[in-house]
Amino acid sequence: MAAANRVLRGTLNAAKKFVFEDATLAFKDKTTKELAQAWTVLTACKHHNRIERWRPGSVERMMDYLPRLCVMPFFNHFVAGESEEEIAPVMARLREQGVEGILDYAAEAKLEQGEAKAKTSSGAVAREFVYEAEHVCDANARTFALAIAAVKNVTPQGFAALKVTALGNPVLLEEASSKIRSGEEVSLAELGTIERRLRKLARQASDLGVGVMVDAESYQHQPAIDYLAKQLQREFNTTKPTVLNTYQCYLKDSRGRLEKDLELAKSEGWVFAAKLVRGAYMKNEGERAKRLGYENPIHDSYEDTSSNFNQCVDLVLDHLAKAQRKTSVMVATHNRDSIEHTIETMERLGISMVGGEDQDRGGVHFAQLLGMSDYLTFSLAHHGLQAFKYIPYGPLEEVMPYLLRRAQENSELLTKVDEERALLLQEVFRRFLKPFSLAKG
């Protein structure tokens, strides 16, 4: 059982600044070959400047010419496998180390005979979907349903990631969002089939006893996505956090919305459940605001975003401390300062550090992308905190273009891998030197 394998559970008085620098602890379950591969892949990713300049479509073209052998190291590092069967052993090993998964089945929707093909475009964490027709949205919903079933089978304490723009015409989301922003009422009927598909997926998750996570998307769609997520939370979070909504802390209005939603959950009596992220669409949002002549909704600086992120963490933790297990928050970041801030606040407020199956998905969770910031994820897990990896899986030729585009979108993140690369190298050297007793441990 994953919970039983958390070796240092409950010993979190060590969870101060130094904890993440213990390479031996962080990588204790990795083979030396895996460490060397991780270092090589992350070093290659550092040359993102070249990736950033690639034109749209070049990734797909490149996939036609590159031998599978060249792509495999990247696929193996960032993707858990091509199918549920392939990810099962990967997930089992992660669970052995106390890490659960957020599954994102990154394959094109399987259409019924005669149905036209779905299109996807670049996305930061999961894909962005281009609306074509209702039957394509039905096919997307079937893909999400597969991921929900896979969560039950391979990571029952985990989540499936859902993208609302895949489930219907985004024009409806945009219209409803404008109304919400101008203070007008909207009804579920206005979001028609989107709401129907989303509710069906939440119902499936609730019946299976697993969680779903509604990803945050572009600013022009987000109010409607929030509205739908809250409807689902009222319905499915009556006793436990089945549906998590996402708050992008780079948005100037995010803290105000978070405050309101915390109040709403309290007054209406449902379990508040949120994923906190900084936000992945910064460049697009700035360009769109400029083009259409409205104020940029993103904070003016990275420091402002980070300070808001920490304040949002504090708000939810304060609510959690009062409601105890009747709140779930996922701190989804690769930023070590934000993680340390969260842990310090948990300690100050006396919030339980211990995760595991007994928690029923309540409490504080931490998440990073598969293949990124492993030293954070595994250190957190080894100290008994609830650690997660965001896990894309699917056929290689469909996942790789999406991954490379994600690298373009998140290029900034790839420049911040120095700490991880240094720890990887340190651990590889320690293992080589160990037989000669030149290194401790």
Ligand X SMILES: Cc1cc2nc3c(=O)[nH]c(=O)nc-3n(C[C@H](O)[C@H](O)[C@H](O)COP(=O)(O)OP(=O)(O)OC[C@H]3O[C@@H](n4cnc5c(N)ncnc54)[C@H](O)[C@@H]3O)c2cc1C
- Smaller CB distance to ligand X: residue 91 or 428? 91
Q: Is 416 in the site for ligand X (CB under 6 A)?
A: yes
- By CB under 6 A, residue 155 contacts ligand X: no
Q: Which stretch binds ligand X (CB under 6 A): 24-32, 45-53, 150-158, 276-284?
A: 276-284
- Interaction between residue 210 and ligand X (CB under 6 A): no
Of 267 and 301, which has the nearer Cβ to ligand X?
301
- Single out the residue of 335, 345, 359, 386 in contact with ligand X (rule: CB under 6 A): 335
Count of residues interacting with ligand X (CB under 6 A): 31
Contact 39, 428 (CB under 8 A): yes
Give whichever of 215 and 428 is closer to ligand X, judged by the CB atom.
Answer: 215
The pattern of x and - marking residues 80 through 119 that bind ligand X according to CB under 6 A reads ----------------------x-----------------
Binding of residue 124 to ligand X (CB under 6 A): yes
Binding mask 349-388 for ligand X (x = CB under 6 A): ------------------xxx-------------------
Map tokens 């949120």 to a residue. Answer: 274
Q: Judged by CB, which is closer to ligand X: 315, or 428?
A: 315
CA distance 388 to 100: 5
Residue 327 is a binding residue for ligand X (CB under 6 A): no
Minimum CB–partner distance for residue 105 and ligand X (Å): 15
Between 167 and 332, whose beta carbon lies closer to ligand X?
332
The minimum distance between CB 134 and ligand X, in angstroms, equals 24
Applying CB under 6 A, the span of 135-143, 165-173, 357-365, 411-419 interacting with ligand X comes to 411-419
Question: Where in 219-258 is the site for ligand X (CB under 6 A)?
Answer: 246, 248, 250
Decide if residue 212 touches ligand X (CB under 6 A): no
Give me the least distance between CB of 302 and ligand X, in Å please. 4
Nearer to ligand X, 410 or 426 (CB): 410
Residue 125 found at the interface with ligand X (CB under 6 A) = yes
Q: Which backbone phi and psi does 240 adopt, to 5 degrees?
A: -145, 160
Q: What's the 3-state SS for the chain?
A: CCHHHCCCCCCHHHCCHHHHHCHHHHCCCCCHHHHHHHHHHHHHHCCHHHHHCCCCCHHHHHHHHCCHHHHHHHHHHHCCCCCHHHHHHHHHHHHHCCEEEEEEECCCCCCCCCCCCCEEECCCCCCEEECCCHHHHHHHHHHHHHHHHHHHHHCCCCEEEECHHHHCCHHHHHHHHHHHHCCCCCCHHHHHHHHHHHHHHHHHHHHHCCEEEECCCCCCCHHHHHHHHHHHHHHHCCCCCCEEEEEECCECCHHHHHHHHHHHHHHHCCCEEEEEECCCCHHHHHHHHHHHCCCCCECCCHHHHHHHHHHHHHHHHHHHHHHCCCEEEEEECCCHHHHHHHHHHHHHHCCCCCCCHHHCCCEEEEEEECCCCHHHHHHHHHCCCEEEEEEEECCHHHHHHHHHHHHHHCHHHHCCCHHHHHHHHHHHHHHHHHHHCCCCC
Mark the segment that binds ligand X (CB under 6 A) among 48-56, 108-116, 195-203, 273-281.
273-281
Contact region with ligand X (CB under 6 A), list: 54-62, 192-200, 229-237, 275-283: 275-283
298 binds ligand X (CB under 6 A): yes
Q: Which residues sit at the interface with ligand X, rule CB under 6 A?
A: 102, 124-125, 215-216, 246, 248, 250, 277-282, 298-299, 301-302, 305, 332-335, 367-369, 390, 410, 412-413, 416
